[in-house]
Amino acid sequence: MSEVSQGEGWWQASDGKWYAPSLHPDVASGEPEPEPAPEPGVPAGVVVSPERNPASLELVGIRAGYGRIEVLHGIDLTVPAGSVFALLGPNGAGKSTLLKVAGGRMRPTAGKVLVADHETHRHGGADALARAGVCSIPEGRGIFPNLTVRENLLIWTYQGKVRLPEVEERAYARFPKLGQRRKQVAGTLSGGEQQMLAFARALVGNPRVLLLDEISMGLAPLIVAELYEVVGQLAAEGITILLVEQFIQTAVAVATRAAIVVHGRVEREGSPAEIAAEAAEHYLAGSGG
Amino acid sequence: MHEFLQFTVIGIAIGAVYAVAASGLVVTYSTTGVFNFAHGAVAMVSAFSFSEMTVTHGLPVWLALVVVIGVEAPILGVLVQLLMRRLFGASVERSLMVTLGLLLILLGAADEIWGGQSSRQPGQLYSGATSYSVLGVHLTVANLLVMIVAAGVAIFLGFFLKRTRTGVAMRAVVDDPDLLAMAGASPARIATMGWIIGVVLAAVAGILIAPLQGGNLSQTTLTLFVVNAYAAAVFGRLRNLPVTFVAALGVGLGETYIGNYLQQYEPGFTQNWLSVPSQTLPIVFLLIALLILPQDRLRAVGRAVTTRIPKVASLGQSLVGGAAVVALALLASVALGTDWQGIVRQGLIFGIVALSLVLLTGYAGQVSLCQVTFAGVGAFAMGKVTGGGSWLGVLAAVGLSAGVGMLVAWPTTRLRGLYLALFTLAVAAFADAWFFTNTNYLFDYNHSSSLLIKRLGLFGISFEGNRAEMILLAVAFALASILVLALRRGVFGRRLVGLSDSPAACATVGLNVKATKLAVFGISAGLAGLAGALYGTNQGFVGALDFQFLISLNVLLMLVIWGARSTSGALVAGLCSAVLLQKGGNLSGIILGVGVLVIGWLPNGIIGTGWPMLRELVRDRSPGEAPAPEAELVEDAGHAA
């Protein structure tokens, strides 16, 4: 995995600023991106559990914050079952907080979260929600660095009614590199491999709703493309996905629906193309930070 | 050779018990991030319960085992987890205080339940005298059982933590409980497992060690036996179980060899001034283990930043506060009876010890469990210089204690908060077992069990009278608190707060972390030494039991309850400590422990939290006054309060 330095694929937009290759419209549409050749002997399309049962996700009047500081000032959002919903917006707008609330990692001060029309906060914390099929992939590296790859996968089995051999099979089939490093301590993997390991959780738990928080952060564009390929595949299977992504084009390429969040409120909701055009405005205007 | 083998068998048996106890510590620490100082107390309570059932009531051994290990210990583990849950993510110092509070509660409860009966036989797993002879070495069934249990524990833990999902999750939970929850496991349940296994292993160790120690059961001996396990756990850096097991066997063997051979070749060694009673050996091992620990990385954040940083009293305010203390002492010397006057005098002295902790723990964030040991060193110096009554003696006391304090701080400047606490515990335990009890050679040339110290005199005024002594102590406290506050206001005080908040940031701006730590330890120990000297003059003599570890613990926890960053907290804490020690009896430990559990989580204690709240209340009730633009927090204006 090599880091892309400036100049190599970076492009200058009409505003005169330089942007990363993955922000380029061509990259997002996937044309010039070289597809990684599938490993011989590994089935290209991985069959995840066939009986997907996608659930809708609904946030009603959500208010939440840290201590006395309120971050979300009443969010109403409906993610229909089987859709891919992209949340865009400047830094500090409250996107990650929104995902935390949706995933049960944070209690809202007001409002409710509904998964398949059931109120989730009655079920308990993030662990109960995870077992009920809401899978959160957090910002940063969602792995246990002091455990081996295999041991991480063993913990992923808490989520669904699956056994370790099955989980290993699915994860290694999708990410063969993990299979080569199954006994390695996860903290010593490269950033991309760590994210693959974190992402393997979305493959094994048979989730009904997937919450992705900036999975591209700090990763090389090739890896990001690989991860988003999996996102596309999961979406094709009908999993409901709510994602936060800093690279607008990447997000818009997989999304079926999008919204802009500014200052803890949903500014606008619409088709990905409309929202992408408007989001750039919000980002560049610096309306949030 | 035969003898050597015999010692080896005994040593392995003792080491095996240490291994069981130490592995419990390691499991709990690596699951919850909490080092359980009450581990030994749990072992003690279990050994006493087991003895109560089998010896006193004649229950069958298997039934007693089921009750103690299968019911009592797990319940205790769950209770501890419920207490600790609130503290998840709290600073090392805070969770440490809670386990210390638990230690006091268990000790107090045992005292209350079993304290009345003087002699109590330990319960035996196997009471027969059968022993096997292998190569001429006696192998008793009891020893064999201990070894089998330890091996079983090792195999079980190895399998459980590596191969089972719960075990793997236990290794993961302390790193990232949120992620574990996102993966569908309940972090609270996993942490509870960590506590249950730790407490059960402590109980097993307590039942196993009691008969090996011989003689009657002793609460303190059993509680402190875990210091040996601490050494093994520290060798394993509190994480590595195999290393911990090997180290435990090494500690057991070393203790047996050294103890037995010394006894054999130097029969009079217990009377020698260099005598090393066998209970000091494990402490020495712990000191060695801590000394060979590698340098810790500088932490970026030392403790959770409180929402409000208490404002420090100005010079004027501290002078007024000091005068108020002296005035109150004057009043007390007239109003109170002799009994209570004595308590107030002792309280003022403990108050000075608490002040030394305000500087060290409150401001600089360094936990010391041997502050009263420093005081003892001061008393020793005071008594040795012209037999007390001399201001030179006071100087010597301050100087010697400061020197000892810096000596103690020297090897620990590179260690983290928890290891510093362990090291100071080891120092206190060592001083208890070796220095203060060594009456023949160190304490008094006249072979009496106490060291006589005369009262002071100044400008022809003698402080022979108890009232004059009380005023003297109040003045000493007032001056010490003015000094502590002056230090806090100056550059040095800002360094201390920086040290506590972020050692890494201190180092990056060019502050010499090591020199600052040494300086604060020196000043703090010097203050404690002053308190020790005054303690001697007040009481007229000092003895082996005056400076025990548990008194350090009392003063420290009391200060945490009242407010570790407040000089008025130090005064109240000192007075309360004296009242508890004199009047509390068996209940004092329980009262203190419960107090820490209930109030210990307030970062600024009762005074630091209650004083500003009271002010705001008063302000609300008097609408005529113009409200101040911002709620003002004066940390130490409450001397008189």
Segment among A229-238, B44-53, B205-214, B363-372 with least mean pLDDT: B205-214
pLDDT band, residue B197 (cuts 50/70/90)? very high
Q: What's domain A53-133+211-289's superfamily in CATH?
A: P-loop containing nucleotide triphosphate hydrolases (3.40.50.300)
Chain center to CA of B482 = 27
CB contact under 8 A, B183 and A151: no
In this predicted structure, what is the pLDDT of residue B355? Answer: 95
User: Higher confidence at residue B368 or residue B313?
Assistant: B368
Asked, colleague to colleague, whether B2-115+143-291 and B320-558+570-579 share their fold, the answer is yes
Q: How confident is the model at residue A276 (pLDDT cuts 50, 70, 90)?
A: confident
Which of B 175-214 lie inside 8 A of A, CB atoms? 175-176, 178-187
Please report which confidence band the pLDDT of residue A33 belongs to, taking 50, 70 and 90 as the band edges. very low
- Over 50: is that where the pLDDT of A32 sits? no
Question: Does the pLDDT value for residue A15 go beyond 70?
Answer: no
Best-predicted range by mean pLDDT (A154-158, B266-270, B303-307, B502-506): A154-158
pLDDT at B78 over 50: yes
Q: How many residues does chain A have?
A: 289
Domain borders along chain B are 2-115+143-291, 320-558+570-579
Q: Which of A141-145, B156-160, B207-211, B294-298 has the lowest mean pLDDT?
A: B294-298
pLDDT in the model for residue B348: 94
pLDDT at A40 over 50: no
Averaged over A66-70, what is the pLDDT?
Answer: 82
Do the chains contact at B184 and A205, CB–CB below 8 Å?
A: yes
Task: Point out the least confidently predicted range of A245-249, B317-321, B523-527.
Answer: A245-249
Mean pLDDT (whole number) for A85-114: 86
Neighbours of B546 (CB within 10 A): 19
The mean pLDDT value for A228-237 works out to 87
Identify residue B60 by its one-letter amino acid code. Answer: P
Residues 6+ apart with CB under 8 A from B388: B382, B452, B453, B454, B455, B456, B536, B537
Q: Predicted confidence band at B75 (pLDDT cuts at 50, 70, 90)? A: very high
User: What is the structure's pLDDT at A180?
Assistant: 92
Interface contact flag, A154 B165, Cβ < 8 Å: yes
Q: b/e for B202-238, b at 16 or more Cβ within 10 A?
A: bbbbbbbbbbbbeeebbbebbbbbbbbbbbbbbbbeb
A67, A106 Cβ separation under 8 angstroms: no
Residue pair B345/B538 in contact by the 8 Å Cβ criterion? yes
What's chain B's average pLDDT?
Answer: 81
Closest-CA distance, A161 to chain B, in angstroms, reads: 11
- Residue B116's pLDDT is 58
CB contact under 8 A, B182 and A126: yes
* Domain boundaries, given as residue ranges, for chain A: 53-133+211-289, 138-206
Rounded CA-CA distance B26/B236 in Å is 8
**Average pLDDT for B591-608:** 76
d(CA A123, CA B24): 34
d(CA B538, CA B415): 37
Rank A110-119, B27-36, B583-592 by mean pLDDT and report only the highest: B27-36
Other CB atoms within a 10 A radius of the CB of residue B414 amount to: 16
> A37-51, A217-231, B524-538: which has the minimum mean pLDDT?
A37-51
Fold (topology level) of B320-558+570-579: ABC transporter involved in vitamin B12 uptake, BtuC (1.10.3470)
Complex prediction ipTM = 0.76
CATH class of segment(s) B2-115+143-291: mainly alpha
d(CA A77, CA A99): 12
A67 contacts on B by Cβ (under 8 Å):
307
Confidence of residue B204 (pLDDT cuts 50, 70, 90): very high
Q: How far is CA B530 from the centre of its chain?
A: 21
Q: Report which secondary-structure segment, H or E, holds A58.
A: strand A57-66
Chain B touched by A194 (CB under 8 Å): no
B168: closest CA of chain A, how far (Å): 7
Mean pLDDT calculated for residue range A266-272? 86
Task: Indicate whether B391 pLDDT > 50.
Answer: yes
Amino acid at A51: E
Q: Which pLDDT tens digit goes with each residue over B419-474?
A: 888 888 888 888 887 777 765 555 554 556 677 787 777 766 777 778 888 888 99
Bridge partner residues of A212 (DSSP): A137, A243
The answer to whether residue A97 neighbours chain B at the CB level (below 8 Å) is no
A146, A158, A159: residue with CB nearest B171: A146
**Does the pLDDT of residue B300 top 60, yes or no?**
no
The whole-number average pLDDT for the span A146-155 is 92
What pLDDT score does B638 carry? 37
Closest Cβ opposite residue A157 in set B165, B187, B307:
B165
pLDDT digits (tens, 9 = 90+) for B507-552: 888 888 889 999 999 999 999 999 999 998 888 888 878 888 888 9
Mean pLDDT computed over B329-352? 89
Percentage of chain B beyond pLDDT 70 is: 85
- What contacts 24+ positions apart, CB below 8 Å, involve B241-246? B241/B23, B241/B26, B241/B27, B241/B154, B241/B157, B241/B158, B241/B161, B244/B19, B244/B22, B244/B23, B244/B26, B245/B19, B245/B22, B245/B23, B245/B150, B245/B154
User: Hey, is B208 helix, strand or coil?
Assistant: helix
Is A252 exposed, middle or buried (CB count within 10 Å of its CB: 0-12, 13-18, 19+)? buried
Q: Is a pLDDT exceeding 90 seen at residue B372?
A: yes
What tokens does B89 get? 């993510």
Give the tens place of pLDDT for each residue, B105-154.
Answer: 988 888 888 875 556 777 777 666 677 777 777 788 888 888 999 999 99
Q: Give the distance from residue A200's alpha carbon to the nearest chain B alpha carbon, in angstroms.
A: 11
The two tokens of residue A5 are 């330095």
Look up residue A214 and give its two tokens.
């900036």
Could you tell me which chain A residue has the CA closest to the CA of B176? A144
